[in-house]
Every structure is written in structure tokens, then in C-alpha cells.
Chains A and B, each alone.
Chain A
Amino acid sequence: MGQNADYHSTVSKQYRQLLKQCKVNLDRNDQELPAAAEDFGELLKERGVSRRAFIKWTSLMTGALMLPPIFKPALARAAEQFSRVPVVWLHFAECTGCSEAFLRTSYPGVADILLDTISLEYHETIMAAAGDQAEKCLEQCLHDFPGKFLCVIEGAIPLGNNGKYMRLGPKGKTGVEIAKEVTSKAAATICIGSCSAFGNIPAAKPNPTDCVGVSKAIGVHTINIAGCPPNPVNFIGTILHYLMFRDVPPLDGLGRPVWAYGKRIHDYCERRAHYDGAEFVQQWGDEGAKHGWCLYKMGCKGPYTYANCSQVRFNDGISWPIMAGHGCIGCTEPGFWDTMAPLEKQIHEDTFGGGQATIDTIGTTLLGVTAAGIAVHAAATACRHRDNKSETK
């Protein structure tokens, strides 16, 4: 017990020190960041977010970031500063689904207000300016906030044909050129979605344009908020962490924040008990599906996928794929699409060589061939070494 108490006092002391540092950082942000366009408190009132709802949201975010409750006030302050961080949002080879997922939600919660008021200096989809005007916005931002703005990238970068598969803007720059130019001046680069993180569907076979993820394309360190689309919580949390600690959160080997991508979907899945109890859905719409049993046999890739979907869910915690009755497709993993195929079958039912052959059909065939070979060899041996018996006598 004594040891335990020591441990707790040490830990809480460390957290208090961290909180002190956090306050210093937030004060510094207050001085350095450009002024907010709208007052955050007023905005919350206007959109009908009660104080209670806001405090609930801070609890959620503090918990999601794996911080103790004493950080809630600091997180609330960081949320106030959220809309003051200049952001440049670039689009490359992708479907804009990530932006869509962030913009359209069930009802305006705190997260949506944050994303609505985010200080976007440049966003090709939703900006009013076009052509030369838009280009001017980008140049202005690079000039005004060098080393201070966040560069958010959505989409993979095509490298094929010297990057010429993608030309953007009035000057017809290639994706590689724009990415290099903007990321070199950014404080940090956040890759939204699996396309910019690992290549995703644009990089799936046969990949004619030779698409790759941003960090591989231009060799910069990126914070990868993987997912197709990723959860807004993971994006907002990463920026809040950046504001509170003036540093990027700890990342795993693939550049994904550990607080969001440290555990597998499977680890916190609400259907996990059915997996452990060997209760599986055998086909769509059967009794097991009605009972909400495990989707492992229907090709759920939860056991191979690192993400917090099962913890925070989507759309303000309303639902998420497995809750809705379909298995996880593993969209946060590198090589998603190719390595996770077939999406509605188990991983070992992947086919090889363009035909219907799976590992198991190849294996069984080899087993049959071996058995037949053994039988033939045994018979042939019996003939060939017929005189063997007399030899030893």
C-alpha cells in the first residue's frame, strides 16, 4: 500500500508540473496567435451549446487525450484558442470525403463549432476565392505566418510522370511542388485521412499514377490522422494537444498519435464478448446478426486495425460501423485496401494470382499432391527395392 501511495503522489506531482507548463504555453499562445474573429463563448451561446454540454465535451476530450481531469480547464482554454491557429488545408489525390465528414454532422456540437470557426487561410473546397485570388490567399498566408501555421493535407501525392498527373491552381503547379513549398514553411504538417498518411485508395493496385503518402513523397515528418474518413475527435484532439503542450503528441512508428491509435478496434469493441465466446455471425441477416454477435467471420478487420473508433465512435458518439452491423474494414492501417482485401471475408480468404485460389485452396491442393506423390513413391519403391529383403539376410 505504501508503495502504491508513493506512486500516486509521484504521478500526481508530475501531472501538476505538466499542468503548470501547459498554462505557460497557453499564455504564450494568447500573446502570439492572431486575434480571434469571433468570441468563442458568444459563439457557443449563439449555437445553443449549454455550459453543461461544453463541460461534458471537455471531459470527453481530456479523457480521449488520456489526461487526468485536472487538465479540463486547460483544455477549455485551448479550445478557445483553437480558431486562432492559422491553417492551410491542401487537397491532393482524394475524394474530399474527410472534409465532408468534418463539415456535415448530426447537430452542431462543440466539435462542429470548432471546425466551423477554424481559421482556414486556404481550403480549395470551401473558400469563396478562385483562381489567382485563391492563389494569393495562400501566398499571403505563407508570407504572414511563416513557421506558425498548421498545414493540413488531405490526399495522396502522385509521383508518376514526374508528378504531372496532378496539376493545381492557376499556375499549374504539381502536387509535389505545392506540398514542398507549403510544408517547408509550416509549423507542423497534419495528414488528414489515410490518403495523405499512407496512400490509401489512390495508391491501391495497380496505382497507375504512383500515388504515395505525403511523408513518403516529400520526406517530411507528418502527424498522420489515419482513417477513411478519420474521426474529427482525433484531429481536434491533436490540435488541442499542440496548443496545450506546444508540441506534437507522441506518435507511433507510422506517425499516428498514440493517444488515438494506440489500441486496436478489437480491444474495446462492444461485440468483443461474442468473439471471446465464439459467437459469430455466419451470414448477413442470420440469427447471430440479429443478436449483435461478432463479425470476425464476416471479414471484420478490427483485430488488425489500430484506431479508437470503438471508444469514441462517430457523429457525437451516435454510432460507428461495427455498431451498425458491418465489420471494420481496417481503414487506418498502411496499405489499406490492398492488405485488407477482401473486405467482407476473413483475411486468409484473399485470392492470389487473379484467380479464385486462396491460401487454403493452394495448401489443400499441395497437400493432395503430396499425398498422391507419397503413394506413388511408396509403390515405386516397393517395386524398385524388391530385392532389399534378401540383401540383408
Chain B
Amino acid sequence: MEHIVPKKEWTVAIRYNHWLMAAAIFVLIASGLYIAYPVNLSFSDKITEMHDIIFWHILTGICLTFLFVWRVYLMFFSRFHADWKDFFAWMNIKNSLKQVKFYLLISKEPPEHTHLYGPLQSVAYGGLLIMVALIVLTGLILTGAAGYKAGLTGIMYTMVRPVERLMGGLASVRLIHHFLSWGFVLFIMVHMYMAFWYDVIFKEGTVSSMISGVVFRKAHK
């Protein structure tokens, strides 16, 4: 006889962080696409469309910066579960291979649940955080160069400006920024598919867990 035990997986902070970051990233991809391929939308009498969209892109980008800092803080200092160790789940090579086999449908046996994230999940989420760090870094350089450098953005710009030189000028910074945005588009696709896939295969409520915070584990009695 087996019955289902609800288990708290995500704290309130992580859930808020997840959805705010998701919203910010969607807004940033949309507005970023507009900035790369601007068109005259003529949706109002205002004559500063491009300028306004750049402003909202920058504002959302600054929000993403804070969300990133918050996420990294939670990674180390969360009182519920500081999950920085879980980002190294991939270091268990045997388990990683098992996971790959499971994903490729070769084996039907899932790997052991040793960490909060699965081995490949840990790579993807770690990679995402690195991508966020890089896109925020290049974004802050471009923000400062665009003239938004009073107060806090000014301090951040002074800190990140030397990276502009390392990357080989503002043009390269812009290119890297554009390049990284594709990484987010691809990540979102795979991430959403895998969340639904998990939900279907394990029937633990993976998708709803990011709202309720609870997964439903099967327990054998």
C-alpha cells in the first residue's frame, strides 16, 4: 500500500524570486528584441518610442540585477535550505550517466534523489545563473554608456567599466549581450518542457510546486 506525502520543496522567497525573474526575463527578451530590431509602432502620439522602450528595458534589467543578488543570497544564507551544494549534483558522474540514460529513455529507472536538483538540472540552473550574471554585467556597462549613471547605476557602472576594456570595446559588449539573450530563449523552452515532462512522468505536481511550494512524494508503507 502506498500513499502520498506532501513535501515542502520551495520556500516562499524562492518562489517569488522564480516568478519575478521569469517575468523580468520575458519583458527583457521582448523589449530587447525591439531594441535590436526597432520598428516604428506609432502606438501613441508620443515621439519617444525607442527611448521609452530602452528605459523600461534598463529598469527591468536593474530589477533582474537585484533578483540575481537575492537568489545568490538565498543560495548561501537561506534559513530553510541554502542550496549552493545542490548546484554541484553533476559531480556524481555515475548518477549523471543514469540521468542521461533516463532522459534518453534508454532506462526507465530514475537516478537517486540525492540533491535538490538532478545532475543535469544542476548544470542547467548553474549555467542559467552564470548567464544572468554575464548578461547583467554587460547590461550594466551598456546602461552606464547610455547615460544612466547617476546614484546606484553610477556606482555599478564604475565597478563594471574595466570589463568593457577586457571584452574589447562597447561593440563587443553589445554583441555578447545579444548572444546571451539566445541562451535564455533556449533555456526557457527546454525548462518548460522538462517541468511538464517531470509532472507527467512522476506525477508529483512538479509544475504546481513552484506556486504551492509542495511536491507530492509517494511513500510505501
Listed in ascending order, the chain A residues whose CB lies under 8 Å from chain B are: 253-254, 264, 267, 273, 275-280, 296-297, 301, 303-306, 330, 333-336, 339-340, 346-348, 350, 359-360, 362-363, 366-367, 370-371, 374, 377-378, 380-381, 384-385, 388, 392
Tell whether, in the assembled complex, residue A276 and residue B50 are in contact, meaning their CB atoms are under 8 Å apart.
Answer: yes
Listed in ascending order, the chain B residues whose CB lies under 8 Å from chain A are: 36, 38-41, 47-51, 105, 108, 145-147, 161-162, 164-165, 168-175, 178-179, 182, 185-186, 189-190, 193, 197, 200-201, 203, 218
Report the separation of the CA atoms of residues A279 and B170 in the bound assembly, to the nearest whole angstrom.
23
Tell whether, in the assembled complex, residue B171 and residue A348 are in contact, meaning their CB atoms are under 8 Å apart.
Answer: no
Tell whether, in the assembled complex, residue A392 and residue B145 are in contact, meaning their CB atoms are under 8 Å apart.
Answer: no
Chain A contacts for B36, CB-based, 8 A: 346, 348
A333-B171 in contact given A346-B36, A374-B193 (Cβ < 8 Å):
yes
Among the interface residues A333, A339, A362, A385, which one has the most CB atoms of the partner chain B within 10 A? Answer: A339
Chain A contacts for B186, CB-based, 8 A: 363, 366-367, 370
- Can you name 11 A-B residue pairings with CB atoms under 8 Å? A253-B164, A276-B49, A278-B50, A297-B38, A339-B168, A366-B182, A367-B186, A367-B189, A377-B193, A381-B105, A385-B108
Report the separation of the CA atoms of residues A380 and B201 in the bound assembly, to the nearest whole angstrom.
13
A347-B51 in contact given A267-B147, A280-B38, A280-B40 (Cβ < 8 Å):
no
B104 to chain A, nearest CB (A): 9
A258 to chain B, nearest CB (A): 13
Tell whether, in the assembled complex, residue A347 and residue B40 are in contact, meaning their CB atoms are under 8 Å apart.
Answer: no
Q: Out of B49, B145, B179, name the residue touching A278 (CB < 8 Å).
A: B49
Chain A contacts for B162, CB-based, 8 A: 253
Report the separation of the CA atoms of residues A341 and B193 in the bound assembly, to the nearest whole angstrom.
37
A289 to chain B, nearest CB (A): 15
Report the separation of the CA atoms of residues A145 and B9 in the bound assembly, to the nearest whole angstrom.
77
Tell whether, in the assembled complex, residue B170 and residue A381 are in contact, meaning their CB atoms are under 8 Å apart.
Answer: no
Tell whether, in the assembled complex, residue A330 and residue B171 are in contact, meaning their CB atoms are under 8 Å apart.
Answer: yes
Tell whether, in the assembled complex, residue B171 and residue A301 are in contact, meaning their CB atoms are under 8 Å apart.
Answer: yes
A264: nearest residue on chain B (CB-CB)? B145
Q: Out of B174, B178, B179, B182, name the residue touching A304 (CB < 8 Å).
A: B174
Chain B contacts for A335, CB-based, 8 A: 168-169, 171-172
Q: Out of A267, A359, A371, name the residue touching B182 (CB < 8 Å).
A: A359
Chain B contacts for A306, CB-based, 8 A: 170
A276-B51 in contact given A339-B172, A347-B171 (Cβ < 8 Å):
yes
B196 to chain A, nearest CB (A): 9
Q: With A335-B171, A359-B179, A385-B108 given, can you name 11 additional A-B contacts, CB distance below 8 Å? A: A264-B170, A273-B47, A276-B51, A277-B49, A335-B168, A339-B175, A347-B175, A347-B178, A377-B105, A381-B197, A392-B218
Chain B contacts for A363, CB-based, 8 A: 182, 185-186
Tell whether, in the assembled complex, residue A388 and residue B175 are in contact, meaning their CB atoms are under 8 Å apart.
Answer: no
Chain A contacts for B179, CB-based, 8 A: 359
B29 to chain A, nearest CB (A): 12
Tell whether, in the assembled complex, residue B161 and residue A253 are in contact, meaning their CB atoms are under 8 Å apart.
Answer: yes
Chain A contacts for B50, CB-based, 8 A: 275-278
Chain B contacts for A339, CB-based, 8 A: 168-169, 171-172, 175
B187: nearest residue on chain A (CB-CB)? A370
B28 to chain A, nearest CB (A): 16
Q: Out of B146, B161, B171, B185, name the residue touching A367 (CB < 8 Å).
A: B185
Chain A contacts for B164, CB-based, 8 A: 253
Chain A contacts for B172, CB-based, 8 A: 335, 339
A350-B175 in contact given A254-B165, A275-B50 (Cβ < 8 Å):
yes
Report the separation of the CA atoms of residues A278 and B145 in the bound assembly, to the nearest whole angstrom.
19
Chain A contacts for B40, CB-based, 8 A: 277-280
Chain B contacts for A360, CB-based, 8 A: 182
Among the interface residues B168, B170, B171, B175, which one has the most CB atoms of the partner chain A within 10 A? Answer: B171
Report the separation of the CA atoms of residues A392 and B126 in the bound assembly, to the nearest whole angstrom.
33
Report the separation of the CA atoms of residues A187 and B189 in the bound assembly, to the nearest whole angstrom.
60
A384-B189 in contact given A253-B161, A253-B165, A296-B38 (Cβ < 8 Å):
no
A385-B39 in contact given A253-B165, A335-B169, A339-B168 (Cβ < 8 Å):
no
B175 to chain A, nearest CB (A): 6
Tell whether, in the assembled complex, residue B201 and residue A385 are in contact, meaning their CB atoms are under 8 Å apart.
Answer: yes
Report the separation of the CA atoms of residues A334 and B200 in the bound assembly, to the nearest whole angstrom.
53
Tell whether, in the assembled complex, residue A388 and residue B201 are in contact, meaning their CB atoms are under 8 Å apart.
Answer: yes
B183 to chain A, nearest CB (A): 9
